[in-house]
Amino acid sequence: MNALEKYRKGIRNLRGADFAGADLSFKSLSGKDVNLTSAVFTFADCTGTSFAGANLSLTNFAGAHLEGTNFAFCNLSGANFEGATLIGCNFYGATGLKFK
């Protein structure tokens, strides 16, 4: 069972899940109980995806397409956005966010 199927079945601890290259456009992986710590979203399409409230610490979004993605109230400590497309994203209330 892949990580998205686990989420759909109510599993919210997706620590280290591999979404590399996945099409997650307009999906919802949101909620304060969602743990995506150290997950991999490299080169994934997350256009319009909502991660609102999720723990995304140490998550790798390198090269991901994140246009219109909702990161409101997320923990983004140590997250990697190198080379990602970040157009029109919502970072309201997000913590740990550092851009270089």
Total domains, the chain: 1
**Tens digits of per-residue pLDDT, 4-63?**
888 889 899 999 999 999 999 999 999 999 999 999 999 999 999 999 999 999 999 999
Give, as one character, the DSSP assignment of residue 8. H
**Tens digits of per-residue pLDDT, 53-97?**
999 999 999 999 999 999 999 999 999 999 999 999 999 999 998
Nearest of 37, 46, 32, 43 to residue 16 by alpha carbon: 37
| Secondary-structure breakdown of the chain: helix, strand, coil percentages, each rounded to the nearest 5 | 5, 15, 75
The CA-atom distances, in angstroms, between 67 and each of 7, 25, 64, 74, 84 are 22, 9, 9, 17, 9
- The domain of 47 spans 1-100
pTM for the structure as a whole:
0.93
**Three-state SS at 54:** coil
Identity at 27, one-letter amino acid code: K
CATH value at residue 52: 2.160.20.80
